A = this chain, B = another copy of it.
Amino acid sequence: MNSNSSLCGINRRALLSGLAMLPALPGLPFSAMAQTQTGVSLGSWNEGPAKQAIFDFVRATTDEGSSKFVPLQERIATFDQDGTLWVEHPIYSQVVYCLDRVPALAETDPKLKDVEPFKTVLSGNREAIAKLSLHDLEKIFFATLSGMSVDDFEAEVKKWLASAKDGRWKRPYTELIYQPMLEVMQYLRTNGFKTYIVTGGGQDFVRVYSERVYGIPPEQVVGSAEGTKYGYQKDGTPFLTKEPKLLLNDDNAGKPEGIHLMIGRRPRAAFGNSDGDRQMLEYTGTGDGARLMMLVMHDDAQREYAYGPAQGLPETKVGTFSQSLYDEAKKKNWTVISMKNDWKRVFAFD
């Protein structure tokens, strides 16, 4: 639906920047996910304009006496995932998944061992992997994200999530969720909002863990999506196969396009952290009445990461928060969340 500058929301530069820091992946068992979505009202937020903006928005939209009251059915809030709900540095978790899947793929189809780009990935030579072309990466994404039944894909992702760990925190990726954002989602839901994830990442990938991790059911996950093909097993049992065909590239302009396709309503609130979320926030902000647009700024190298050229932070290839986005946010009164100043803690395990 938009340009093909990225595949499943993952562009090549973003991939390259993280490869050098890829963690080893010990096969440790999955430890229990933090369950902290109960009854907390922004307890992990410091007092300040960001917390206040959330409270003000909810108060205005849920007070029947307010001129900004929003009927229950129109209360839609959308959240980007990578960098907004969980850690995206040094590399998107889904890219790690795709690379991790290559050995199993070559096991099933040994001739891949001598075919590029699989040969390079299997070599483990990160410098060589980092030099793969976008076309090569597409081959890896499609080979690891399609060509199997949707049930098999779900099982593979579950298995991976149970063992893969982030290199810095030595924890499953699904524990690297921002506690303050879990609280915002819960707070909005308590006030009648339907919360959606709108991610450049793979829709089927995120749906595997969205309910358990974010409390967001699969039908409220909008993401980059491949087509599927209906067919029958030999015994007549029908099943769906994931096809190597991108139906929705849910990043940049693809986000409002995906929102229209999958939700059909303009959101009242939207949360992002990078240039890929710009159009979603613009689209959200265009409607009448009360609107809440927020951008997470990663300015906390100690507790998480500091990146993005806005306010002089180091430039980076994953989750670019450009100066022009920052300027647009200021001009349009979008709220920039300072991870460093606005968040009392970052993770549930902090």
Q: A residues bordering B, Cβ < 8 Å? A: 1-2, 73, 76, 150, 194, 203-204, 207, 211, 217-219, 221, 225, 227-230, 237-240, 247-248, 253-254, 256-257, 260-265, 279, 282-283, 286
Contacts and interface: CB of A to CB of B under 8 A. Distances in A.
Nearest to A239: B286
Given A1-B227, A218-B263, A261-B225, A282 B203 contact: no
Contact of A228 (B221, B229, B237, B260): B260
Number of copies: 2
Nearest to A219: B263
B247 A261 contact: yes
Nearest to A245: B1
A257 B237 contact: no
Contact of A286 (B211, B237, B264): B237
B227 A73 contact: no
A238 B1 contact: no
B257 A240 contact: yes
A42 B344 CA distance: 53
Contacts of A253: 229-230
Nearest first, the 5 closest Cβ-Cβ pairs linking A and B are A218-B264, A230-B253, A219-B263, A238-B282, A207-B264
A228 B257 contact: yes
B247 A230 contact: no
Nearest to A252: B230
A257 B282 CA distance: 31
Given A203-B264, A239-B286, A240-B257, 9 more contacts: A204-B264, A218-B263, A218-B265, A225-B261, A227-B261, A228-B261, A230-B257, A238-B256, A247-B248
Contacts of A260: 150, 228, 240
Contacts of A283: 230, 238, 240
Contacts of A73: 211, 217
Given A247-B247, A257-B240, A262 B1 contact: no
A238 B204 CA distance: 28
A172 B262 CA distance: 28
7 contacts: A1-B229, A218-B264, A229-B253, A230-B279, A237-B286, A238-B282, A240-B283
